[in-house]
Amino acid sequence: MTTSEQRDTTTSHATTTVTLMTDNETPVEQDRWRKHIITIGPFLCDITVCVVIGIKSDFGLFSSALLFTFVPLYAIRPYRRGFFCGDESIRYPYKHSTVTTRQVYLISLVMLSITIMATEIFRAINLPGSEPFAFRRNASWIVVRVLTYFAYCIFGLLLNLAFTQTTKWSVGRLRPHFLDVCKPNVTLTPCRYPYAYITDYVCQGAPEKLVDEARRSFFSGHAAQSMGTAIFCVIYMQARLPRRTYGLTIVPVFQSLHIGIALLIGLSRLSDNMHHWSDVFVGFLVGCATGYYSVSSSRLLSLGLQQLEILNDIQ
């Protein structure tokens, strides 16, 4: 090979190398994406754990949640509790639900999805020092975070549902409209012995399915599910949208909206004669506990406030 040919070959290799470095990413960008690839592992692992065996739990806990959630619906009858002859708390008329069970789950899923997606998109667009079109480049990571936090909340709601179903079917507290639905074969008016406890009776009114439903007053599943979702969203927004970065009004407004909707759903059970006030109150408490547990499992509460603020600015 002549000297001129060697010079041409060297020039060609140099041109090719420069072209590759220009078309592709710089070493700094390659290193950054390499770190991202390493980071995606825990996110995908979290999603898999959430969907298959539950968050930070073994297969036994997840299986137990499914067992106590769905088995009572098809294989177990609620506890058959008696009643006092003069009990006025179960003499209310039967009314249809203002918010049905399906609507509660639909509202919870819609509010949860909108909150998480809007928060993560808002953070990606408004991050300090974000570059143009950064949202498109980080779209895959946004999807991963949305699915991860969504799965954490769903697992909390599943535990919530398991606690609710287990308690309802084992306690068997009578709903306020029980007598209107049951129409027992005993004379209650006039009640000669108000404190007589009646256990030997047969319901002659509504179908058996509706009577069984009237034995499941404690505690309110509507209140527990709606408040569980609300508490998760409130703490999630507080952690992912720090006030010093996004203002003093936007976060409290949406947090109050979540709590308000949960309160309205729970209190509607009182006006519908579906629950006693204590049922709704305990449902709210259970919802707060499961909501806090699910959001704490997502490691949003594992850092101190100052560390969390720094992490929010970086992510």
**Tens digit of each residue's pLDDT (9 = 90 or more) over 240-274:** 886 665 556 788 889 999 999 999 999 999 999 99
Domain map of the chain by residue range? 25-78+101-174+217-314
Question: Given 177, 222, 258, 276, which residue is catalytic?
Answer: 222
181: nearest Cα among 90, 253, 280? 90
Does the pLDDT value for residue 71 go beyond 70? no
Does the pLDDT value for residue 198 go beyond 60? yes
Does the pLDDT value for residue 7 go beyond 70? no
Q: Which residue has the tokens 């319901």?
A: 203
CB 105 within 8 A of CB 199: no
Tell me whether residue 275 is one of the annotated catalytic residues.
Answer: yes
Question: Given 36, 96, 258, 275, which residue is catalytic?
Answer: 275
Q: Rounded to 5 degrees, what angle do the CA atoms 196, 198, 204 make? A: 140
Tell me whether residue 36 is one of the annotated catalytic residues.
Answer: no
**Is the pTM here over 0.75, yes or no?**
no
Does the pLDDT value for residue 232 go beyond 90? yes
Looking at residue 194, the DSSP 8-state letter turns out to be T
Does the pLDDT value for residue 125 go beyond 80? no
